[in-house]
């Protein structure tokens, strides 16, 4: 299936993602409540989750990896497997595993219910249940976990809430509500549980560990009378957007406002010029009227001057006549006064 040798688990096809990779690393590592014991995986497919579990195998421990690898099973389980894992072979799993580890785990090619025949009871510190997703099979797998887990051990259930796996949900919740299975934490795909009485040390240790992993955080949920951690993937910080931000838009607005003010000022200026032009025209008209009036005035003055000159001439002539006629001094004085 994988044509080239995988260099990391990310090169192996499967359904095992970052939040669960990190949560597995915590429960398999030294900070877990129980850090010694055997490891078990039911349902390996091509080895994506198995190679990570194998990273934590210590001296004296056994990792048992079980899968049907295409072997026979009941009708419903066969339909399930034919739909999703048709091309799976044990050889492909082994090749992938050996690309990343020196030795293979103990491989069991059988139904998941057979696991209890291969692993000592009460010896397991971590178990991953990811084989059949049908209710009847998961119920059996939960009982196997109860048998195999050591005190402080943790069991992870895949697809406990997926749309296409209601059988897993039914079996897991049934065991939680009435079967002594206690949830420690959930991710979007898996539920992590223990059969220990006290969940607190498991939950506290995970809560401390999660912030150490990139892009993960926790939320505390409360249900069925207890607190359960939810491990959530936080958004990656978004790269600076090329779309203009608020400051850019404000700057642009400011610029436009300035242009608008300048345009307004321009049009006000034009308006003022128009008004001034109109006033100038009016002044021109007034001036020409004034000139006409002046002309008339000049004409009138000229006329009056001419009249006055004429009158003076007449007076002079009259005086001469009076002098020549011998009028009295009183008449002469009157004539002079005029
Ligand atoms: C979802 S895959 C496992 C994925 C793997 N854990 C991973 O994360 O990459 C389920 C596997 O369970 C196997 N399987 C299905 N029914 C089974 C059964 N009843 N017993 C054992 N294995 C089974 C399938 O062959 C398949 O490889």
Quick one: how many helices (H) and strands (E) in the chain? 9, 9
Helical ranges in 210-245 per DSSP H: none
The verdict on the CB of residue 15 being under 6 Å from ligand 1 is yes
Sole residue written with tokens 């260099």: 7
Residue (of 183, 65, 190, 76) closest to 132 by Cα position: 76
Helical ranges in the chain per DSSP H: 18-28, 48-55, 75-84, 90-100, 135-148, 166-178, 200-209, 246-325, 329-337
The per-residue pLDDT for range 26-76, each reduced to its tens digit, is 999 999 999 999 999 999 999 999 999 999 999 999 999 999 999 888 888
Domain 9-233 sits in CATH 3.40.50.150: yes
CA of residue 69 to ligand 1 center, whole Å: 8
What's the alpha-carbon Rg for the chain, to the nearest Å? Answer: 54
The verdict on the CB of residue 190 being under 6 Å from ligand 1 is no
Low-confidence residues of the chain, pLDDT below 50? 1-2
Write out the two tokens for 119: 């692993």
If you take atom 14 of ligand 1, which residue's CA is the nearest one? 131
Write out the two tokens for 225: 């009378």
Write out the two tokens for 183: 């949830």
Residue 256: its pLDDT value, please?
A: 84
Are the C-beta atoms of 182 and 198 separated by less than 8 Å?
no
Q: What is the dihedral of CA 23, 29, 32, 38, to 10 degrees?
A: 100
Residue 332: its pLDDT value, please?
A: 60
Domain residues of the chain, as ranges? 9-233, 257-333
The verdict on the CB of residue 54 being under 6 Å from ligand 1 is no
Sole residue written with tokens 């951690």: 229
The verdict on the CB of residue 144 being under 6 Å from ligand 1 is no
């Amino acid at each position: 299936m994988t044509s080239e040798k995988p260099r990391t688990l990310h090169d192996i096809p499967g359904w095992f993602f970052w939040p669960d990779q990190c949560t597995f690393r915590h429960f398999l590592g030294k900070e877990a409540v129980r850090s010694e014991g055997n490891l078990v995986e039911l349902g390996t497919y091509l080895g994506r989750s198995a190679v990570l579990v194998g990273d934590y195998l210590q001296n004296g421990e056994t990792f048992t990896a079980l899968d049907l690898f295409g072997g026979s099973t009941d009708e419903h389980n066969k339909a399930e497997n034919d739909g999703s894992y048709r091309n799976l072979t044990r050889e492909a799993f082994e090749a992938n595993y050996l690309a990343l580890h020196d030795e293979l785990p103990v491989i069991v090619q059988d139904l998941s219910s057979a696991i209890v025949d291969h692993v000592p009871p009460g010896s397991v510190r971590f178990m991953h249940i990811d084989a059949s997703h049908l209710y009847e099979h998961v119920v059996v797998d939960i009982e196997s976990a109860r048998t195999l887990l050591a005190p402080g051990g943790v069991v992870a259930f895949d697809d406990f809430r997926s749309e296409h796996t209601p059988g897993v949900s039914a079996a897991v919740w049934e065991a939680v509500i009435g079967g002594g299975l206690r949830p420690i934490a959930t991710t979007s795909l898996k539920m992590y549980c223990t059969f220990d009485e006290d969940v607190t040390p498991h939950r506290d240790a995970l809560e401390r560990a999660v912030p150490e992993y990139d892009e993960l955080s926790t939320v505390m949920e409360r249900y069925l009378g207890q607190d359960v951690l939810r491990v959530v993937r936080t958004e990656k910080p978004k790269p600076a957007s090329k779309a203009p931000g608020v400051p850019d838009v404000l700057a642009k607005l400011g610029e436009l406002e300035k242009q608008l003010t300048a345009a307004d000022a321009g049009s006000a200026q034009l308006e003022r010029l128009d008004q001034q032009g109109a006033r100038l025209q009016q002044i021109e008209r007034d001036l020409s009227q004034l000139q006409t009036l002046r002309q008339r005035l000049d004409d009138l003055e000229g006329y009056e001057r001419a009249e006055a000159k004429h009158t003076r001439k007449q007076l002079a002539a009259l005086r001469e006549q009076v002098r020549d006629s011998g009028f009295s001094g009183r008449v002469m004085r009157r004539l002079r006064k005029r």
